[in-house]
């Protein structure tokens, strides 16, 4: 249902959104989204650090028009105050006292439009990694912070396994040609776990080969595609018999609900090396 609703709003003929990565800390990505109507203006998603964003703005000659925040963790919001010191711009994020820098807050099912930039995003509440975590979906792109990673998902710091499983299922059910921009470069480690869960997954094996080649050249593995994630990401495949059986072997008893399979996978991944 969700897929139909969003697909109806976003025709496939829309030009591909230009998004570039800015590396921060050891493995974070801050995403810079170019305005389709004025390529010299960009929106930054989850600027945990200001310095690399400022360096990229100076290198490219672009100006920062707005900031989107998915959740309150310092490696996603830590650069906001310094970036605001360079000029007043809007900061859009979830209502959470731990994010005092927002100029506007957004909630599940709302839409936020930047009319002057030709950009607009649907908001999805995706609790689990944190309770107020949100994702932004628009123009065939998903900015999902630390909820969904390529071939993996975020740790559950605040939510329940049922909440996190529901959040991931909502993201999985967006249109399959959605490009997924997440907050960290964890893809290789995630695929090693995915293959421990589901060793016969030929798509995951081929994806690991291609990602290892990219990473050897220091290239980002991202964005990913939701159509690929639905084939390789065990956390989106909790109803698949091979994934369920692997989770059941891990705990030694049957698991009836996909959310229970998810809970076992998440705990297994937490201690997987």
Q: Which is nearer to Zn ion, 146 or 229 (CB)?
A: 146
139 is catalytic: no
Least separation in angstroms between residue 185's CB and Zn ion is 14
111 has which bridge partners? Answer: 122
133 is catalytic: no
> In terms of Cα–Cα distance, which of 15, 17, 39, 20 is closest to 31?
20
Neighbouring C-beta atoms of residue 172, cutoff 10 Å:
19
Question: With binding defined as CB under 5 A, does residue 133 bind Zn ion?
Answer: no
Q: What does the block give as tokens for 125?
A: 């509440």
- 111-127 burial, b for 16+ CB within 10 Å, e for fewer? ebebeebebebbbbbbb
Q: Which is nearer to Zn ion, 128 or 234 (CB)?
A: 128
* Contact region with Zn ion (CB under 5 A), list: 12-20, 26-34, 50-58, 145-153: 145-153
Give the x/- contact pattern for Zn ion in 6-25, rule: CB under 5 A. Answer: --------------------
Q: How far apart are CA 9 and CA 26, in angstroms?
A: 37
- 18-55 burial, b for 16+ CB within 10 Å, e for fewer? ebebbebeeebbbbbbbbeeeeebbbbbbbbbbebbbe
75 is catalytic: yes
Catalytic option among 46, 72, 129, 139: 129
Q: Which is nearer to Zn ion, 157 or 268 (CB)?
A: 157
With CB under 5 A as the contact rule, the residue among 34, 46, 56, 146 that binds Zn ion is: 146
* Contact region with Zn ion (CB under 5 A), list: 15-23, 61-69, 146-154, 202-210: 146-154
What is the per-residue DSSP string for 116-183? GGTEEEEEEE--SSSTT-EEEEETTEEE-TTTEETTEE---SSS-HHHHHHHHHHHHTS-TT-EEE-S
Least separation in angstroms between residue 235's CB and Zn ion is 16
Catalytic option among 46, 72, 76, 198: 76
Catalytic option among 72, 133, 165, 184: 184
Least separation in angstroms between residue 133's CB and Zn ion is 8
> In terms of Cα–Cα distance, which of 236, 260, 238, 259 is closest to 171?
236
Catalytic option among 46, 71, 72, 198: 71
184 is catalytic: yes
Q: What does the block give as tokens for 185?
A: 């470069």
Least separation in angstroms between residue 71's CB and Zn ion is 6
* Contact region with Zn ion (CB under 5 A), list: 138-146, 197-205, 245-253, 265-273: 138-146
With CB under 5 A as the contact rule, the residue among 28, 42, 43, 73 that binds Zn ion is: 73
Catalytic option among 73, 133, 139, 165: 73
**DSSP symbol at 89:** -
134 has which bridge partners? Answer: 125
The answer to whether the Cα torsion of 42, 46, 50, 56 is positive or negative is negative
Least separation in angstroms between residue 76's CB and Zn ion is 6
Catalytic residues, by residue number, are 71, 73, 75-76, 129, 146, 184
Binding site for Zn ion (CB under 5 A): 73, 146
């Amino acid at each position: 249902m969700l897929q139909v609703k969003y697909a109806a709003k976003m025709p496939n003929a829309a030009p591909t959104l230009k998004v570039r990565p800015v590396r921060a800390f050891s493995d974070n990505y801050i995403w810079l989204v170019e305005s389709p109507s004025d390529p010299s203006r960009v929106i930054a998603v989850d600027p945990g650090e200001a310095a690399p964003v400022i360096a990229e703005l100076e290198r490219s000659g672009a100006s920062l028009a707005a900031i989107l925040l998915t959740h309150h963790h310092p490696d996603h919001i830590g650069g906001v105050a310094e970036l605001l010191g360079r000029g007043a711009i809007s900061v859009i994020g979830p209502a959470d006292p731990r994010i005092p820098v927002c100029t506007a807050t957004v909630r599940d099912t709302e839409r936020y439009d930047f009319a002057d930039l030709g950009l607009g995003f649907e908001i999805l509440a995706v609790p689990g990694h944190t309770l107020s975590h949100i994702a932004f979906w628009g123009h065939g792109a998903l900015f999902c912070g630390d909820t969904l990673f390529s071939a993996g998902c975020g740790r559950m710091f605040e939510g329940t396994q049922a909440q996190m499983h529901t959040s991931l299922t909502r993201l999985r059910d967006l249109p399959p040609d959605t490009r997924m921009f997440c907050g960290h470069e964890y893809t290789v480690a995630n695929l090693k776990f995915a293959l421990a869960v589901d060793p016969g997954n030929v798509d995951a094996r081929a994806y690991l080969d291609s990602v290892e080649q990219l990473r050897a050249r220091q290239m980002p593995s991202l964005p990913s595609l939701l159509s690929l994630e639905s084939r390789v990401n065990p956390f989106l495949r909790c109803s698949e018999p091979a994934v369920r059986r692997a989770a059941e072997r891990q705990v030694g008893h049957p698991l009836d609900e996909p959310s229970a399979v998810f809970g076992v996978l998440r705990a297994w991944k937490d201690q997987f090396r």
